[in-house]
Every structure is written in structure tokens, then in C-alpha cells.
Amino acid sequence: MSETITLNKGQITFTRPGLKKWLDLEDIKQELKGAVDPWNSDAIAKAICSYVSTALSQNEEKVYNSSWMEVAKAFYTINNVCSLEYDFPFLRIELDNKKETWDYTGRTWYIWLHMLAKEFGWKAEDIETIDVDMAFALAQEIAVNNQLEKEFLWATSEVPYQSKQGFKPLERPRWMLFNPETLEVKTTTIRKEFMPVGKIVKYGDESS
């Protein structure tokens, strides 16, 4: 997927990048998220310009010299192009973004590099340019396989049979249990004084 982006009166064709650059952009988006809450306008502007310049491999000065409307449109377009094609179940659960003491800037890429190189024996230059959807699909399959192996080893040990209720299966991670199709929508009540005043018109109702 490619889109043409206008920046500083020039046009640049942007194509969704491979895994490494995609992860770099996601790290910048995390910086942007951190600047939004609490609100820090200078940090927000810096993160957005950094995101656009990194994605387009352009000097940050060129981005800063562009109109704010161009930069905002570029950010939206790039983010849309970089969106994943598939709805991976293990991404539906919000992760804890708590930083470990051994964390550092850019570590995300090396986590992926280690995982895929260890599993498939691929070289760094091959993993760097792999399609993002393929990378996430493989990562989920690795996670599923690891979980099923743990469950098999768990079932062959004596521990799960020592419960008074009988066999106790190994607990699965939340993303393997979450099913949006069977998720019940909780109903709630609203006090009368909090209800909107006047006639309520539903979308598509042309009778009013």
C-alpha cells in the first residue's frame, strides 16, 4: 500500500515499511502518547514531526518548514498506511507499558530480532524488511505454540491432578480467552435528571 504525501510543496510516495522501521515509528507514537497525557504541546509537535521525518526519511528541518496542515495530513496518511491488515487476537488486550529496569530506547526491535532469529535462524537484514503483518502472524503462532507446549508438559506432571476438584488446566493468557463475538454488553441505568432534554432523533430517521 502506497500513498502520495505533499510536504513543503513537494510530493513523496510513502510505502508501508518493513518491520524495523515500522517498530521505530511505533516507538515514536508511544512518545507522542506520553506527551498527550499530560498535555505538552511542544513535545507533541516534536513527536509528530519526528514521526513524519522518520517515515519519509526526510531531514527534520524540511518537516519543520512545512505548513502545519501538511504535517498533520502526512502524519494521518502515514499512520493509516502503517495500519495492520489483520486483527490479531494477541493485540486486542491492552499491554502494560511499564518499563523494566533493563529497558532502553530502540529495544523493541532487538526483542523482535532475537525472537525471529532464534525461531527461524534468519539474518538481521532479512528480518528488518519482513512484512509487518507476517511478522505479527508469526509472533502469534510462536506464542500459541509455546503455550500449547507448556500445557502439554503441565498435563504430564502430577501437579494439576492434586486439586480436590480434579484436573486443573494450566491458565491461558487473556488474549487466548478473549472473544469479542461472545462478549456480553453490560447494561446500565441513567438517572432521569442526567437524560438529554428534548426530542431524540436517531441517525437515519428522516421522519422528523
pLDDT tens-digit series, residues 104-137: 888 999 999 999 999 999 999 999 999 999 999 9
Q: Write down how long the chain is.
A: 208
Question: Tell me, what's the pLDDT at 75?
Answer: 96
Contact 50, 44 (CB under 8 A): no
Q: Where are the domains of the chain?
A: 1-83, 89-196
Contact 142, 119 (CB under 8 A): yes
| pTM for the predicted model, two decimal places | 0.78
pLDDT tens-digit series, residues 122-176: 999 999 999 999 999 999 999 999 999 999 999 999 888 887 788 888 999 988 9
Question: Tell me, what's the pLDDT at 193?
Answer: 59
pLDDT tens-digit series, residues 41-74: 999 999 999 999 999 999 888 898 899 999 999 9
Rounded to whole angstroms, the Cα distance separating 56 from 60 reads: 10
Helix, coil or strand: residue 37: coil
